[in-house]
Amino acid sequence: MRYIWQHIKTIIDAYNGSLPLAHFLKNYYKQYPQLGSRDRRILNEMAYCWYRCAKAIIVDEIQQDEFEYKMKACLQLCANRDIVGRLYDMDAFGAASSDLSCLFPYDVMLSEGVSAIEWSRSILVQPSLFIRIRKQKDEIIKLLNTAAIPYSFVTDNCIELPNGAKIDTLLPSSAYVVQDASSQLTGRYFAPVKGERWYDSCSGAGGKSLLLKDMEPTVQLTVTDVRDTILYNLKERFREYGHKAPAAFVTDVTDKAKLAKSLDGRQFDNIICDAPCSGSGTWARTPEQMYFFNPVQISKFSTLQKNIAVNVAAYLKQGGRLIYITCSVFQDENEHVVDEIINKTGLKLLEAKLINGIAHKADSMFIAVLQR
């Protein structure tokens, strides 16, 4: 296994967080085609375990090879017994001590509904794969059973699967959507009515928009994003799932003039503001983001979120609702932004909640519903 150690050391030394870790590893393996699927799986597990908890490992005494010692401790802390067993004699290795508060050693307040230790522990665990069933539920269950893929229901239409489950060639593509369980639960706050005008202001690839249209296909939907490629992908997804593509505009919603030009006087019954954020509620999936995160970014995100939410709120009809969403667990991106929205727009807060997905090995999200 010495060549595995050489490769993982090279990976950790070279990676700087500028790319998603998954993309970096994929590019790395292209350079070394001799690495087989088993080798890649081991290296993937080692890399992700490192970024999950290397900062929490305390090496109490001088080790001949501190990197290997810390890596073994990371694997041990993440309870990755399979890889651990391949790399060393467990009886001969006493795991280093750990302090989970070192994973994110900054004085940042978390939203009500999750504790610091609960959140830190969740980073050590690879989240599950979740799908939202759109149709053919019985057929999907039959196929999963036939393929002996374990699953469990989170809600009537939300299924939890093992991460990495090979379902893309197994299940009919139009019958389900890959979507985190907590993201699906935001739909409980939508309550769409036939014919309403909705606006998804930071649509991304359209996860929330698709959820909305599946709930009520007759809503008249407008979407915006700053990236034209992502809006193209959104339209393609809508066609794949049998929905008419929404009115879509490439615009910067932080710029009032550009936003006004794009929306051209439109007013909406409901606005979804799924704002750009730190993504701290999803860091168990992307632990490298936490490892390389600069806490200064929290205030930058908070300022951006306040600007976006206040700008788009101007396009609400009287009685209309603004649905503010983040995948963050930080108060500065959640409750504090809601306070600013209320102060700047006069909207009334109807409800706010952190959707804590940790128990289901899912993401955590914040949602607030405000009304004009």
Q: What is the mean pLDDT of residues 339-356?
A: 98
Residues 179-201 have pLDDT tens digits of: 999 999 999 999 999 999 999 99
Q: Name the one residue in this structure whose structure tokens are 């929306």.
A: 263
Q: What is the mean pLDDT of residues 253-270?
A: 96
At 78, is the pLDDT very low, low, confident or very high (cuts 50, 70, 90)? confident
Q: What is the mean pLDDT of residues 221-248?
A: 96
Kindly tell me if the per-residue pLDDT of 86 is higher than 60.
no
Q: Are 70 and 9 in contact (CB under 8 A)?
A: no
Residue 90's pLDDT is what? 45
Helix runs in 102-221, H state only: 116-123, 137-146, 181-185, 207-215
Domain 182-371 maps to which CATH number in 1.25.40.10, 3.40.50.150, 3.40.50.620, 3.40.50.300? 3.40.50.150
Residue 288's pLDDT is what? 98
Residue 145's pLDDT is what? 97
Residues 34-60 have pLDDT tens digits of: 999 999 999 999 999 999 999 998 876
Q: Where are the beta strands (DSSP E) in the chain?
A: 57-58, 97-98, 129-133, 152-155, 158-161, 176-178, 197-200, 220-225, 247-250, 268-274, 316-326, 348-355, 365-371
Domains of the chain by residue range: 2-98, 129-177, 182-371
Q: Crossing angle for the helix pair 21-31 and 2-14, nearest 10 degrees?
A: 130
Residue 82's pLDDT is what? 52
At 84, is the pLDDT very low, low, confident or very high (cuts 50, 70, 90)? very low
Q: What is the mean pLDDT of residues 258-266?
A: 95
**How many whole angstroms from its chain centre is CA 320?**
28
At 308, is the pLDDT very low, low, confident or very high (cuts 50, 70, 90)? very high
Domain 129-177 maps to which CATH number in 3.40.30, 3.30.460, 3.30.70, 2.30.29? 3.30.70
* Tokens describing residue 313: 């709120």
Residues 277-292 have pLDDT tens digits of: 999 999 999 999 999 9
